[in-house]
Each structure stands twice: as structure tokens, then as C-alpha cells.
Amino acid sequence: MIPSNSLIYWLLILLAPWFSPQFVVAEALKGQVVAIADGDTLTLLVGSAQHKVRLTEIDTPERAQPWGQKAKQALAAKVFQRTVMVQVSGHDRYGRTLGRVYLDNRDINRELVEEGHAWAYRQYLTDQDFLTAEALARDLKLGLWGSPSPVPPWDWRRGKRKAKPRDEDLATTSLQCGNKHFCKEMIHCAEARFHLLTCGVTSLDGDKDGIPCEALCN
């Protein structure tokens, strides 16, 4: 008679391949797109539950950045109030669902790059074809690539925007970190950016998108 512990051991050996990563079925969500936050973030209604979805492989300009609103409009034109499938790859630190969005047989993430609405997001890239799609859009000067010097969103979020100084930006030279912690205390966007980026007042960026006090900065 085979000892029970030996039997369990051999069963685990036989079944192990079926639990390896290549046999794991990725989660998929099917629902209606009910909101568009920006060019790479949407809200999906599945039954009675809402899921905030961050499109993977891509990074679109922020809402206050050049082409940010056009990228948002492009995503909305493709999927708003449409039924889509999201191939889920995980969740980010903000609790958003990460995934590829498909409408019928169309890869929406890839389309946004092909049409010049988004960059291939190098920091988190898993599909190298997105780099090829980006290069082609750049060569054809599609979308944001029509600008002479588009700034990647990740650089823009770090405050490395290439822009001419405005009067309110010049005012930051007299600003100091102090007791201001809320948007209602800010006079203009430049002051809000100063307190977020220089003073680290994260309460000014409630949705963690790198844009403080959006009523001032949009």
C-alpha cells in the first residue's frame, strides 16, 4: 500500500504543470464604459460594480498637458458608452484595474499609440510592438507628434515641462513652504504646483495624477 503522504507528493508532481503561469487564465472584465477620466483611464460598469481601469502599455498626456484633452476625447470617441472587454493584468497602488481594452477585435490601447495619442509606456512595457507603433506615428507626425517637441507624460509629471515662463510661474520665486495644505488656500496654479512638487504637500493631489488643485490647474 502506498503511504498517503507519498501519494499526495506524486499527485502534486503530476498536477504542477497545470498551475504554472502559462496555464493560468487571465481575468477578464466585460462591461460598459461609463466615464473617461483621461486618455488612459476609464470607468467600467460590470453589473452594479464600477471598476476604474488604467490602460496598460501606454501613457497619454496629462489633462493639463498639451494634447491631454485630445487624448481623452480620442478614448471617449472609441469606447464611451460602449461594451468592452478588459484583459486584466493586475492592479496598481491606487487600486485601479490594469489591463488591455478590447472593443470587438480592436486593441484600443494599441490604437491610441498608432494614432499618436499616446506614448509606449517604457517603464512598464511588456509588449515591444508598442514601440514600433509609436515610432511609426512619430514618423508620420500623427497626433501629438505634430508638435515640434512633445514632452513625455512621465517627464511632465516630474516637473520637466518645456514651456515659456508665465507671469504666475515667475511668482514662484517668492513662494515659501509654510502652513498651506489645501487647494482653497492657493492663489494660482503655480503656487499649487510649488507646494506639491517642492514642499511635498500631497493633499493637493487627491487623485495622485501629478496635477494639484485641478480647479486651478485645468
Residues serving a catalytic function are 54, 62, 96
Which residues have C-beta within 8 Å of that of residue 111, sequence separation ≥ 6?
Answer: 78
Which residue do the cell numbers 487624448 mark?
A: 71
Among 174, 179, 203, residue whose Cα is nearest residue 190: 174
Residue of 169, 54, 175, 170 whose CA lies nearest to 118: 54
Span between the terminal Cα atoms of the chain, in Å = 75
Burial of 208 (0-12, 13-18, 19+ CB in 10 A): exposed
SS3 category, 41 = strand
Q: Is 54 left (phi over 0), alpha (psi -120 to 50) or beta?
A: beta
What number of other Cβ atoms are within 10 A of residue 53's Cβ? 24
Phi and psi (nearest 5°) for 36?
-125, 115
Give the Cα separation of 185 and 168 in Å (integer). 16
